[in-house]
Amino acid sequence: MSYFFQLVVSGMVVGSIYALSALGFVLIYKSSRVLNIAHGQIIAAGAFITYALTVMVGIPLYIAFLLSMIITFFLAMAVERIFLRKLIGEPIISVIMVTIGLMSILDGLIYLTPFGTLNLSFPPFFPTTPISLGGVSISWTQLVGVLVTAVFIGGLSWFFKKSTLGISMRAVSDDQLAAMSVGISVPKVFGLAWALAGMSAAAAGGIIGNITGLNFDTLHAFGILVFPVVILGGLDSIIGAVVAGIIMGLIQQFAAGYLDGNWGLNGTADVLPYIVLLILLLFKPHGLFGTHEIERV
Amino acid sequence: MATNRWLATGNFFSTYKEEQRIFLTNIDRLTIWSLIAALYAWPLIFQMSNKNMLVIDSILVAVVAVIGLNMVTGFAGLISIGHAAFVGVGAYTAALLAASWGESHAILTHAWPLVILFSGLVGAVIGGFVGLPAMRLKHLYLAIATLSFQMIFTWTINFMTLFNQGQTMPLPRVFWLTGKVVRKDHYFFWYFVILTVIVMSGFAVRNLMRTRYGRCLIAVRDNDRAADAMGMHPGFTKVYAFALAGFFAGMAGAMHAYLFRGAGIESFSLHQSISYLAMAIVGGLGTLSGSFFGPAAIQFLDLQVENLSAWAGTILGSSMNLATALRPLTFGLVIVLFLIFEPRGIANWWRITRSYFKLWPFRY
């Protein structure tokens, strides 16, 4: 039984990181209807910047973490300004392809730095002895990761509910024309959405880097696994991202814990999320919490 | 009416049938047929090395695959991020036949056109099956559903011992009227085979787009609710678009497997799917000529970048792995620049050039 709970706990941990990464997608999609395929690369960039600042420059981790969030904030804003601003109003496939191109460009840029091929891990920052509660153990890094995720999601929810900027972002996602007519600058909101997404990506990257170590290929694979999470939750729902993230984390951990090794299966954690996604999409074509678009001819 | 059969001096169509002709003038007919004749003739005149022939052959295989992708993404407007998996289905169909019947079975070595066709049909069935979610899903949800297929395909191949766990599965050399196609002639021979398939599928697609089965694809792309109201069945059309794409991809896959004498998972990865999408976009989505330009442009670029990074590697030393960095960098830049500055792709340049010569010496 404790094995089961152990899996539940680690599933929640992985899931909350998925949720944090998926949040960035949802932010961008909600405001500008762009699916940012390059999000995984921004996550990786955030992780590498954090590492470079802590280990190479020697700044304490929490300050480096904040700094990397600020850097990716502006990085993502620049990306939006340079690549996406020109494509407002273009068909959806062009926009997706631009973000795919962006993914390649960022890949190339990361490979240019030494981080592209190295296997790195953060120096231990938190106590290394895990906390155990009734046979279930969780490491300090994971715990802090979950806490940071919770804080982030709570903060963003507050931001969207209460602050003027957040409300204007919701207005833009609801109806761009109406938002413009009450004096909201739509391009500025797009830029801000990207910047916030970049920030959350950096946070996710920093946490993953601390938990699993830094390897570009792993981060890459992680970035792709965030797609089923966002689609499962519904592209434009923050709650959906959180719920689907945790569901996917649990699925992965249970697959790795119970399926692998039995009946000659292995590596099911990489494929089961997609199978579950396909089956669920047959019943709920807009994900769990996505808005149903009402379409007219 | 006595119209000029050689030169179009204006638009004198009085029936829809006239407008839908493949060749509007005899000059058009002459250019296309002489172009095809030239394509068949040049390898006989210029002796190419095996290495160069292989590059040209792989471009041609990509052309067949991109024709398929253009059916589903270009004409029917359904984004497919899993096209390499369909190509893989074709390749692995041929490879499985070789594995279960033995490598030198007569059907594989002598009746290889049937194997290619059969792989295409298997691709079509799998394509139609994967396209089933398209009945309900739209836009991005569908794109990620096709991505899911790509992931499941990769996992299945890597996992199952039936598929040699992603290691290369061998295919035999084939026989032709003149006997066994030996190593020296292998790529030379397949050039003609693939070219024939391309010419046939080119005309097939062109003709398909003149019938209602082709035009309903475009109608569904432009507005599926309106198409529904006009009496088409959007859900069925989408599944059928996926099946068509799967057919071309399956043929391309079987030819790929024969050409490289084996099927291995690395040719059918997610990265390759994205490359196919890039080829379709650089060539021009929803155009037939774009399916020819796109693969050629992307493969050519790939080669040049390889040369460039090899050259840069000799200067800078191998401390930085420039090849791995430059390839995605240029690839991404080309996609982005094309989408921003020429969203209609190289096919649009081709259109502009053609109309220039058609109207010359006048401007319009």
Mean pLDDT over A10-16 rounds to 84
Q: Does A90 touch chain B (CB under 8 A)?
A: yes
Q: Does B146 touch chain A (CB under 8 A)?
A: no
CB distance A59 to A206 below 8 Å: no
pLDDT at A264: 65
Q: Mean of the per-residue pLDDT values for chain A? A: 81
The Cβ of residue A69 has, within 10 Å, a number of other Cβ atoms equal to 21
Cβ distance B223 to A297 less than 8 Å, yes or no, reads yes
Nearest chain B Cα distance for residue A127, angstroms: 36
Q: How far apart (Å, rounded) are the C-alpha atoms in residues B165 and B216?
A: 40
**Do the domain assignments include residue A296?**
no
CATH code for position A58: 1.10.3470
By three-state DSSP, how is residue B358 classified? Answer: helix
Question: What angle in degrees, to the nearest 10, is found between the helix axes of B322-341 and B270-283?
Answer: 40
How confident is residue A297, by pLDDT bands cut at 50, 70 and 90? low
The residue with greater pLDDT, B311 or A74, is A74
Q: Does A271 touch chain B (CB under 8 A)?
A: yes
Per residue in B251-261, is it b (16+ CB within 10 Å) or e — as a string? bbbbbbbbbbb
Contacts of A112 (CB under 8 A, 6+ apart): B320, B322, B325, B329
Dump pLDDT digits (tens) for B73-85: 888 888 888 899 9
Per residue in A258-289, is it b (16+ CB within 10 Å) or e — as a string? eeeeeeeeeebbbbbbbbbbbebbeeebbbbb
Range of weakest confidence among B5-14, B17-26, B35-44: B5-14
Q: Does A293 touch chain B (CB under 8 A)?
A: yes
Cβ distance A235 to B331 less than 8 Å, yes or no, reads no
List the single residue in A101, A116, A270 with the smallest CB-CB distance to B336.
A101
Measured CA to CA in angstroms, residue A70 lies from A76, A149, A204, B359 at distances of 10, 17, 14, 57
**Do the domain assignments include residue A128?**
no
CB distance B263 to B119 below 8 Å: no
List the single residue in A86, A104, A285 with the smallest CB-CB distance to B137.
A285
pLDDT at A152: 84
pLDDT at B318: 58
> Residue A274's closest CA among B270, B71, B239?
B270
**Do the domain assignments include residue A145?**
yes
Range of the domain at A147: 2-123+138-283
Q: What percent of chain A has pLDDT over 70?
A: 94
Number of H helices and E strands in chain B, helices first, is 15, 4
Question: Cβ contacts (< 8 Å) between B144 and chain A: which residues?
Answer: 227-228, 230-231, 277
**Do the domain assignments include residue A206?**
yes
**Do the domain assignments include residue A295?**
no
List the single residue in B141, B325, B329 with the smallest CB-CB distance to A281.
B141
List the single residue in B79, B149, B155 with the smallest CB-CB distance to A96.
B79
Q: How far apart (Å, rounded) are the C-alpha atoms in residues B364 and B353?
A: 12
Which of B129, B137, B144, B277 has the highest number of chain A CBs within 10 A, making it the mutation to test binding with A?
B144
How confident is residue A295, by pLDDT bands cut at 50, 70 and 90? low
Cβ distance B155 to A96 less than 8 Å, yes or no, reads no
Question: Cβ contacts (< 8 Å) between B325 and chain A: which residues?
Answer: 108-109, 111-112, 116
Cβ distance B321 to A111 less than 8 Å, yes or no, reads yes
Start-to-end CA distance of chain A, whole Å, equals 55
Q: How far apart (Å, rounded) are the C-alpha atoms in residues A244 and A30?
A: 17
pLDDT at A56: 76
How confident is residue B125, by pLDDT bands cut at 50, 70 and 90? very high
Q: Does B79 touch chain A (CB under 8 A)?
A: yes
Q: How far apart (Å, rounded) are the C-alpha atoms in residues A161 and A167?
A: 7
Nearest chain A Cα distance for residue B126, angstroms: 15
Dump pLDDT digits (tens) for A36-63: 888 888 888 888 888 888 877 777 777 8
Q: Mean of the per-residue pLDDT values for chain B? A: 84
Q: Does A106 touch chain B (CB under 8 A)?
A: yes
Residue A250 token pair: 């649990």
Q: How far apart (Å, rounded) are the C-alpha atoms in residues B192 and A225?
A: 42
Q: Does A285 touch chain B (CB under 8 A)?
A: yes
Q: How far apart (Å, rounded) are the C-alpha atoms in residues A99 and A221?
A: 17
Return the amino acid letter for A249.
G
Per residue in A70-97, is it b (16+ CB within 10 Å) or e — as a string? ebbbebbbebbeebbeebeeeebbbbbb
Mean pLDDT over A221-229 rounds to 83
Mean pLDDT over B78-93 rounds to 89
Q: How far apart (Å, rounded) are the C-alpha atoms in residues B352 and B364?
A: 11
**Do the domain assignments include residue A195?**
yes
pLDDT at A64: 81
By three-state DSSP, how is residue B223 classified? Answer: coil
Is the pLDDT assigned to residue B319 strictly greater than 60?
no
How confident is residue B182, by pLDDT bands cut at 50, 70 and 90? confident
List the single residue in B141, B151, B334 with the smallest CB-CB distance to A271.
B151
Q: How far apart (Å, rounded) are the C-alpha atoms in residues B135 and B220?
A: 12
Q: Does B321 touch chain A (CB under 8 A)?
A: yes
**Do the domain assignments include residue A130?**
no
Contacts of B52 (CB under 8 A, 6+ apart): none
Mean pLDDT over A185-190 rounds to 85
Q: Does B102 touch chain A (CB under 8 A)?
A: no
Residue A21 token pair: 């990464």
Dump pLDDT digits (tens) for B271-282: 888 888 888 888
How confident is residue B317, by pLDDT bands cut at 50, 70 and 90? low
Question: Cβ contacts (< 8 Å) between A266 and chain B: which residues?
Answer: 159
Q: Compute the count of residue pairs across chains A and B with CB atoms less than 8 Å apart.
A: 148
Count of structural domains, chain A: 1
Is the pLDDT assigned to residue B2 strictly greater than 60?
no
Dump pLDDT digits (tens) for A129-163: 777 776 777 777 788 888 888 888 888 888 888 88
Nearest chain A Cα distance for residue B87, angstroms: 20
Q: How far apart (Å, rounded) are the C-alpha atoms in residues B187 and B190?
A: 5
The residue with greater pLDDT, B114 or B163, is B114
**Do the domain assignments include residue A59?**
yes
Residue A200 token pair: 């959350």
